[in-house]
């Protein structure tokens, strides 16, 4: 039985962050509104996009702007989210191995079981948590959106570049 099935059939009590940290869920779960929510299992397209993002963000690491990491738990108050990719300052703080400072950029990669609107909603959460930029990437549809802190909706990329402050990535190169 999958975790999602088990969770939907069982009554899940409110989890604290400490209780969440002691769990070892498969698939990996985020902590949202006191309950575990499974992240979609990655596809080959998803994994290839993560690797491509690493390649494209590496020059910004080398310039000393921060570092790129994958599947890093990010906590604010009583919730824990796990963006697919984050770019964070080298001075970012962690508690119990979980990022507590807002990264410079969160990136969500669309999985076949997700809708774009779900990921746009995650960008709004990141915005409320102080993340200045969020990108949503659809590796199969070859589409990308960027969200800026305080902006009402994500923007479709029209000029061929995704931007996050000093970070600028060509959408053409992203989908090569």
- Domain harbouring 105, CATH code: 3.90.1570.10
Sorted by sequence, the CB contacts under 8 Å of residue 160 that are 6+ apart come out as 170, 171, 172
- What pLDDT is attached to residue 16? 65
Domain count, the chain: 2
Same structural domain, 18 and 98:
no
Mean of pLDDT values over 130-136: 95
**Separation CA 63–CA 84 (nearest Å):** 22
Same structural domain, 23 and 49:
no
For residue 10, pLDDT over 80 is answered with: no
Same structural domain, 79 and 30:
no
> Who wins on pLDDT, 97 or 5?
97
Q: For residue 36, which of 11, 7, 74 has the smallest C-alpha distance?
A: 7
Same structural domain, 147 and 96:
yes
Same structural domain, 58 and 130:
yes
Domain that holds residue 150: 40-174
Same structural domain, 63 and 51:
yes
Q: Which range in 19-33, 40-54, 145-159 is most confidently predicted, on average pLDDT? A: 40-54
Lookup: tokens for 147? 């969200």
Same structural domain, 7 and 77:
no
Same structural domain, 126 and 154:
yes
Same structural domain, 134 and 50:
yes
């Amino acid at each position: 039985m999958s975790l999602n099935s088990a969770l939907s059939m069982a009554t899940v009590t409110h989890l604290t962050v400490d209780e969440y940290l002691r769990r070892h869920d498969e698939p990996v779960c985020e902590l949202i509104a006191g309950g575990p929510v499974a992240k979609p299992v990655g596809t080959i397209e998803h994994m290839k996009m993560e690797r491509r993002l690493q390649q494209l963000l590496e020059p910004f690491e080398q310039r000393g702007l921060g570092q790129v990491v994958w599947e890093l738990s990010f906590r604010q108050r009583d919730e824990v989210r796990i963006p697919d990719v984050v770019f964070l300052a080298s001075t970012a703080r962690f508690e119990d191995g979980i990022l507590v400072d807002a990264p410079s950029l969160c990136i969500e990669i669309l999985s076949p079981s997700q809708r774009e609107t779900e990921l746009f909603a995650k960008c709004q959460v990141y915005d409320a948590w102080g993340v200045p930029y969020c990108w949503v990437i659809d590796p199969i549809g070859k589409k990308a959106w960027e969200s800026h802190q305080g902006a009402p909706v994500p923007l479709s990329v029209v000029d061929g570049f995704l931007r996050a402050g000093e970070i600028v990535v060509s959408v053409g190169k992203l989908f090569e």
